[in-house]
Structure 1
Amino acid sequence: MDQLGVVHRKLVAAVGLATTIIIMIVIIMAPPSSATTTHITNKLSSGVLRAHCASRKDDLGNHTLAFDEGFGWSFGETFGTLFWCDLESEGYGLHFDAYDGGNPYRFSERWEVRDDAVHGKQGSSGEELVLGVWLPI
């Protein structure tokens, strides 16, 4: 009876390990969810905005935006997706995370670049988001 108990415990442990490995493979190999879109608009009171946004896998290039101009992009979101933007205007720079899959509560579909910071509204709650600080460059 003792040997049967040992075999049973080893079998349960092996099944648990196999299940964990399968779950990890499914998570890693899962296709991206539906497309997520974000958009940035220049609302600076004066001057042109230069924006460069990227992720680890996608470089969205440099954009020069006059007042009220913007650009946007769509992407297949996966866990850990991060898009950041480096902004520059009239000798000042600002860095912010436009999308952080690890912290979806700091995401807005529409960002406005203003004189004090970057503003957006959190999708599900509508909470005002204010990100970044303009620093001399």
Structure 2
Amino acid sequence: MTGPEEDATPAESTPTAAPRRSGLKNPQAAVRGLGAGTLVLEVIVLLLTIAPLTVIAGDRKGPAITAVLVATVLAIVLAGSMKRDWAWTAGAVLQGLLLAGGFLHWTLAAVGVIFGLTWAYAMHVRRSILG
């Protein structure tokens, strides 16, 4: 009589090269939700920056608030476009634009850094789930 260890064939004991599954029922939808959720949080933070900018931005108040409103509209549009692959790249560009907005006021650069790092993490999760 042989034991269970001796019955294993070499094919059963070697790891297969099958792609790693994430365990999610619909990984595409999960990743889209992550991207859209990140952008919605960014929209909320951007809208909350308008009130402090009216007080501390001084003579650059108008352009800074305009930049915030443009970035907010872009983030809303991108949150609704997460089914398309280009939306992920456009989200990264949006973070870069916010970072460049630091020339108008440092708070825009701060939001750009925070959400740039958040977006980079979301893209990392997307790559690890979808491959």
TM-score normalised over the length of structure 2:
0.36
Bigger strand fraction = 1
Kindly indicate which of the two structures has a greater share of residues assigned to helix.
2
Q: Which has the higher contact order (CA 8 A, sep 6+)?
A: 2
